[in-house]
Structure 1
Amino acid sequence: MDDNIQVDQLNTGTDPWYQALFECSPQPMYIYDAETLGFLAVNEAASHHYGFSRDEFLLLTTKEIRPPADIPALLTEIQELKRERRAGFQKSHVRQHRLKDGSIIHVETAKQLLVFNGRAAICVLVNDVTERVRAQRQIEHLAFFDELTGLPNRAKLRSDLQDAITQAKEGGKSLALLIVELTRFREINYTLGHLIGDELLKQVGSRIREVAGERALSARISNVQFGVVLSDLSTGTAIDLTGRLLDALADPLAVGEISFELGVHGGIAFFPGHGSDADALIRHADIALYRARQSGRSYTIYDAAHDPYKPQRLTLLGEFRKAIKQGQLQLYCQPKADIQTGTITSAEALVRWMHPDRGMILPDQFIPLIEPTELIQPLTYCMLEAAVRQCYEWSREGRMIPLAVNLSARNLLNANLPESIDDLLKTWGVDSCWMGLEITESSIMADPAASIRVLKQLHQMGLKLFIDDFGTGYSSLSYLLRLPVDVIKIDHSFTMNMIEDPGAAAIVKSTIEMAHNMKMKVVAEGTATRDIWESLARLGCDEAQGEYVSMPMPAMEFSAWLDQSSWAH
């Protein structure tokens, strides 16, 4: 026995009482030499549990029933027992042991340093916890993995993403988070049932793993959304991989003899440029996905300049309902001029939020927040009422100035909209020809059939209808032909660039020709200079709206401006 090891001098090897307890214990027990690690004794329960005969056991060392990776932990435990020399059995963490057939079990052990036949030895009590470990792992799998595809879920992605960000920070590297959404899955699922839908989702998971590769962290984060973390890739490589992944998901998927096209959009956010933690990166990739879906693009990269969901803006959302009730919204007007005569023909109604603490808040700071919510309905009604009242005031002054109000997609899905407008017109005694309604292409395409029904009703009431921001949406010309539209408004992005950009000029020219062929008039937004005005005149454009004519102004100042303006003559 090592002279430096001071232990209880009980000679366990010859003590009959100790031997009886050892042999008769139903719990596996064995004793091994503290120096050589060779087995000195083993009870019947251990022999049966591990599958070795007693003689086979005594030819082994404790290292041989431990996986190689677990040996350092074993040696550390032995050194601690020798050093601390505490009385009683000392429990260990869950360890792995190997049976005779090579299978691995999970055990908790209790160890005691003692003397066996005059030699320093370690007695071990074994508690097999394999089933408990398996149950825990199954629970963890259910908590962190999607049962259908086998991919990690949103909680697991968030945890793994945060770990990846920490590693990227330490290594001075970047990473990208891609979130993809299947756009037509719900339609297929509702039509053909969940069995078909489940099979399609399994194939989507397989394609993502195949294209993204082993280095990528892939997850199913909601019913129709998947996330992929691309680590240590350049921006160009990440974008290239994103393109290949979206192309792969856009290819038809086959179930039986039927092929399905799911459609897909994606949003990308990069660390460190778009966020320094997992939550920020996930939020920004979600916003990029939303913009891709709204614009009809395959994917977009997050851009803080076009993020309407910053925390300070969400604070505004909470204050907006109060703003309507307290009359903080003001009506502004921007005039439109006839290009041939140079006179003011009408105006567009615009909203400004005069916040008691923040001052004037422009529409681009709150409209993107309001538009996807039900708050867009009271906002639109507020603007319609203000516009009708303003038309009434102008009529009392002897002015006939039609005023056009903007509508959103949610407004067009409101079947009561025509009746509400009709009630306002009757209340103020305003003729419908004094009112116009501006609708974007994208708002119509949200539900073309429902939009067309509402727009036809409004047109039959005598309201003039405008297609706003023409050229920026993805509407079909077949739908445009079915719409009772009176005026097309060319988006300012084309008008403002038509002098320097031949492509923009060609779009302006072709839009004017197409509209005139369809018996529609054309208003060019963004008419900022005399050069643009004159170019529009040469192309036969009907009206212009923009800085060259006038910036937006409070509606109450419009009459005074018009009386002093050269445009009035």
Structure 2
Amino acid sequence: MAATPHALQAHRNRVPAERRRPFGAFVIAVTLLAAAFTVRDLANLPDVLAHASLGFWLLTVLAVAGDALPVTLPGRWNTAAIYPSICFTFAIMIDAGLAAAVVVQGLAVAVSSLRLRHALWRAVFNLGQYALAFGIAYGTLHLISGDAAPGLLALVASATAWFAVKYLTTAAAIWLRDGGSLLPIIMGPLANEALSTGALLMLGPVIAAQTEVAPQLILVLVLPLLAVRRLSIITAEQRHLANIDTLTGLANRKALIGEVSAAVAGHAQRAVQGDARCRFGLLLLDLDRFKHVNDSLGHEVGDRLLIAVGDRLDRVVREGDLVARLGGDEFAVVAKRLDGADEARELAERIEQVLINPVVLDGMPLDVSGSIGVALYPDHGTDFATLLRHADVAMYTAKHNGDGIAVYHPDADHNSPQRLSLLADLRAMLGRPDKGGLRLFYQPQVEIATGGVVGVEALLRWQHPTRGPVSPDELIRVAEPSSVMRLLTAWVIEEAMVQLAKWDAAGLQVRMAVNVSVRDLHTGAIVEQIEDLLGRYGLEPCRLQLEITESALMADPHRVLATLTRLQLLGVGIALDDFGTGYSSLQHLRRLPLSEVKIDRSFVLSMADDPDDLVIVRSIIELAGALGLRVVAEGVEDERAWRLLQSAGCEIAQGWFYARPLPPDELADWLSRTTLPALS
């Protein structure tokens, strides 16, 4: 039941071309050294066999029979094959000498190699390892005990020597074959292997002693040996399961971390050796619209879809690459031996292509697509955590831009130390009762025809305690890629509703517009939150309007459609902010439950001096009118812009021409003493 250390029983049987010479030299050296240790004793084998006892033949039969049924587990992360022979062959070494132990072990290796279809060189190398281990163990035994019967110290020392030789030669073979750092290869499974193999080796002296007294009673040991064998199988299964995703059978996060760590060590060594293909890539894939499948067809169908996607990914990657599932609908690929970003992008494009065809489940075709982020070692990081974070940044960029694939670039990374510090401060502020300088200001939205205030937009302001005012753009850039964005949005919505309730009590009824991120709409949680707050503060749903930017929406229109539809059914208005700056299509505008579009301020500010921008503004107003949507113009700063908008048919305007963003008490004062211009 010996479990060989991770190695030549593992998934990677092929030796890379550049490593074949040192690996082959090591195999030959071990084999020749084993021959040197055992050749003299093998000459005495005929005499040993002539005087062999019944116990010897029983042990031989048990050793060979045991290895005829070695237990191996399927899968890439199986780290052990279980061989029951060594407890019997170690007992033979004690009773009958080195030559007999090596010959019986050789028979067991031959049988197990045939069963497992090992290559001839591998069978020879395994026998060489065993022979060398027995040779050194036998020498250690007689060095300590001399001609006397071996005592406990000699037996323990002999077993320790056997284990050390077998374990270290296997670890060295892995290192020469796969590269990387030798010490982690040695230390990784050392404790488990020492426990299981040590138990079997120390059972050898017990069996040897029993053979001298009553050899037929050796058969009594079969049952406890079967129990030990079963325990070894369970241990190997647990080790195997610890590295796989139980749904798809792919690697899990633990296996991915190990693979990346090994690749870092191996590729760093290749770089020292001048290998041009010393890079590797970490590709992160997030499926689009997977939640819709779960919500509409159930988790069982969703699970089958994930299995199908995993199978496609496993087929499209190159030999030696690793596919892992990180959880949910997120997958990762470790693409080894790359010469640069172009080759990584080519693999990402192949993955994109293999996902184009629908997955047919129960006769229903399900469209599959995803966003892929790419990070390269060592260009974008030299450890797993950094590479994963940068691949995630690239994936978010791909999703945000709608490109499908993106390679990490520092300019798109919102996780600089300064921003991470600001993000930590923001998270801490949201956890304080006073919110640490976070406030909402309100800018009026005015009906151009009447001059009446029909609504206000809630605008976030943060007076940082040490940095001073943080611009709204920077605040959103820091928060949006993280989970803090949802916390921030939840606070803003509740704060806005609290203010609406206060204004209601004072007799002021206006519509409140609140900006939300597309990230806030990926789940339906925001719908439940809004419904709860409307009931808590006694507000009508039509008093709240959510604004979502065009560019963010178009990056993932299908994923947020279900949430927007639920909000519309609740009675909450949906506005498309910054209209004209993105790439939305008429089809999307027609399908989305919108009530309003807001013309981006960049067009409004320059339309008086730029005829092209004026044409764009008029076209947006006409398009929105044809679709039955209300139009709000942002950035109205002077009377000239106001008059151009009213002549173009714009309904509502917002900007410094009317008022700057104001805190709630100043807004109430402003409303009470201000007469706004209307059409004349």
User: TM-score category by the smaller chain?
Assistant: 0.5 to 0.7
Specify the alignment match of 1:381 in structure 2: 494
1:514 aligns with 2:623: yes
- Do the aligned partners of 1:349 and 1:387 also contact (CA within 8 Å) in 2? no
- Do the aligned partners of 2:109 and 2:123 also contact (CA within 8 Å) in 1? no
Gaps of 5+ in 1: 1-10, 33-37, 53-62, 98-105, 113-126, 426-431, 460-464
Specify the alignment match of 1:476 in structure 2: 588
Tell me, in whole angstroms, the C-alpha distance in 1 between the residues paired with 2:576 and 2:122.
Answer: 78
Within a 5 Å distance, the mapping from 1:61-72 to structure 2 comes to 67-68=124-125, 71=128
Specify the alignment match of 1:319 in structure 2: 428
Residue 439 of structure 2 aligns to a residue whose secondary structure is strand
Within a 5 Å distance, the mapping from 1:479-490 to structure 2 comes to 479-480=591-592, 483=594, 485=595, 487-490=596-599
- Do the aligned partners of 1:316 and 1:366 also contact (CA within 8 Å) in 2? no
Residue 180 of structure 1: which of 261, 282, 285 is its match? Answer: 285
- Do the aligned partners of 2:635 and 2:656 also contact (CA within 8 Å) in 1? yes
Specify the alignment match of 2:547 in structure 1: 439
Tell me, in whole angstroms, the C-alpha distance in 2 between the residues paired with 1:505 and 1:274.
Answer: 44
Specify the alignment match of 2:354 in structure 1: 248
Tell me, in whole angstroms, the C-alpha distance in 2 between the residues paired with 1:401 and 1:190.
Answer: 36
Residue 160 of structure 1: which of 255, 259, 262 is its match? Answer: 259
Specify the alignment match of 2:375 in structure 1: 269
Within a 5 Å distance, the mapping from 1:328-477 to structure 2 comes to 328-334=437-443, 347-361=456-470, 362=472, 363-364=475-476, 365-366=478-479, 369=482, 373=486, 376-386=489-499, 389=502, 404-406=513-515, 409=521, 410-413=525-528, 414-420=530-536, 422-423=538-539, 437-440=545-548, 442=553, 445-455=561-571, 466-470=575-579, 472=582, 476-477=588-589
Specify the alignment match of 1:3 in structure 2: none
- Do the aligned partners of 1:30 and 1:43 also contact (CA within 8 Å) in 2? no
Q: Which amino acid aligns with 1:330?
A: R
Say if 1:163 and 1:385 are closer, same or farther in 2 by CA, change over 3 A: same
- Do the aligned partners of 2:440 and 2:492 also contact (CA within 8 Å) in 1? no
Question: How far 1:177 moved relative to its partner?
Answer: 1.9
- Do the aligned partners of 2:633 and 2:652 also contact (CA within 8 Å) in 1? yes
Specify the alignment match of 2:239 in structure 1: 140
Tell me, in whole angstroms, the C-alpha distance in 2 between the residues paired with 1:239 and 1:500.
Answer: 43
Structure whose residues are more often strand by fraction: 1
Say if 1:567 and 1:448 are closer, same or farther in 2 by CA, change over 3 A: closer
Question: How far 1:141 moved relative to its partner?
Answer: 1.8
Residue 250 of structure 2 aligns to a residue whose secondary structure is coil
Tell me, in whole angstroms, the C-alpha distance in 2 between the residues paired with 1:65 and 1:516.
Answer: 77
Specify the alignment match of 2:215 in structure 1: none
Residue 221 of structure 1 aligns to a residue whose secondary structure is strand
Question: How far 1:389 moved relative to its partner?
Answer: 4.9
Say if 1:544 and 1:40 are closer, same or farther in 2 by CA, change over 3 A: same
Say if 1:157 and 1:23 are closer, same or farther in 2 by CA, change over 3 A: closer
Q: Deviations over 1:430-476 (max 9, x none)?
A: xx9xx663422649735233111223xx57xxxxx744333548683
- Do the aligned partners of 2:605 and 2:635 also contact (CA within 8 Å) in 1? yes
- Do the aligned partners of 2:430 and 2:487 also contact (CA within 8 Å) in 1? no
Residue 178 of structure 1 aligns to a residue whose secondary structure is strand
How many pairs were matched up? 500
Question: How far 1:382 moved relative to its partner?
Answer: 1.4
Tell me, in whole angstroms, the C-alpha distance in 2 between the residues paired with 1:190 and 1:343.
Answer: 43
Q: Which amino acid aligns with 2:370?
A: V
Structure whose residues are more often helix by fraction: 2
C-alpha RMSD over aligned residues:
5.8
Q: Deviations over 1:277-301 (max 9, x none)?
A: 2123224434554565577663455
Q: Which amino acid aligns with 1:382?
A: E
Question: How far 1:356 moved relative to its partner?
Answer: 3.7
Structure with greater Cα Rg = 1
Specify the alignment match of 1:259 in structure 2: 365
Residue 250 of structure 1 aligns to a residue whose secondary structure is coil
Question: How far 1:155 moved relative to its partner?
Answer: 0.9
Say if 1:258 and 1:332 are closer, same or farther in 2 by CA, change over 3 A: closer
Larger mean Cα displacement after TM superposition, 140-149 or 80-89:
80-89
Tell me, in whole angstroms, the C-alpha distance in 2 between the residues paired with 1:453 and 1:508.
Answer: 30
Gaps of 5+ in 2: 1-43, 60-87, 112-119, 145-153, 170-196, 206-224, 272-277
Q: Which amino acid aligns with 2:333?
A: V
Tell me, in whole angstroms, the C-alpha distance in 2 between the residues paired with 1:559 and 1:467.
Answer: 27
- Do the aligned partners of 1:391 and 1:402 also contact (CA within 8 Å) in 2? no
- Do the aligned partners of 1:268 and 1:302 also contact (CA within 8 Å) in 2? yes
Tell me, in whole angstroms, the C-alpha distance in 1 between the residues paired with 2:109 and 2:482.
Answer: 65
Say if 1:150 and 1:288 are closer, same or farther in 2 by CA, change over 3 A: same
Tell me, in whole angstroms, the C-alpha distance in 1 between the residues paired with 2:279 and 2:670.
Answer: 55
Say if 1:453 and 1:44 are closer, same or farther in 2 by CA, change over 3 A: closer
Specify the alignment match of 2:340 in structure 1: 234
Specify the alignment match of 2:150 in structure 1: none
Q: Deviations over 1:85-137 (max 9, x none)?
A: 7324522128599xxxxxxxx9977999xxxxxxxxxxxxxx99988776554
Say if 1:387 and 1:254 are closer, same or farther in 2 by CA, change over 3 A: closer
Question: How far 1:51 moved relative to its partner?
Answer: 8.2
- Do the aligned partners of 2:446 and 2:452 also contact (CA within 8 Å) in 1? yes
Residue 327 of structure 2 aligns to a residue whose secondary structure is coil
- Do the aligned partners of 2:599 and 2:633 also contact (CA within 8 Å) in 1? yes
Say if 1:49 and 1:390 are closer, same or farther in 2 by CA, change over 3 A: closer
Residue 276 of structure 1 aligns to a residue whose secondary structure is coil
Larger mean Cα displacement after TM superposition, 494-503 or 536-545:
494-503
Instruction: With the length of structure 2 as denominator, give the TM-score of the two structures.
Output: 0.56
Larger mean Cα displacement after TM superposition, 358-367 or 218-227:
358-367
Question: How far 1:181 moved relative to its partner?
Answer: 3.0
Question: How far 1:388 moved relative to its partner?
Answer: 6.1
Larger mean Cα displacement after TM superposition, 369-378 or 556-565:
556-565
Question: How far 1:31 moved relative to its partner?
Answer: 7.0
Specify the alignment match of 2:7 in structure 1: none
Larger mean Cα displacement after TM superposition, 231-240 or 416-425:
416-425
Question: How far 1:235 moved relative to its partner?
Answer: 1.9
Q: Which amino acid aligns with 1:164?
A: A
Tell me, in whole angstroms, the C-alpha distance in 1 between the residues paired with 2:609 and 2:130.
Answer: 73
Say if 1:206 and 1:39 are closer, same or farther in 2 by CA, change over 3 A: same
Tell me, in whole angstroms, the C-alpha distance in 1 between the residues paired with 2:427 and 2:362.
Answer: 50
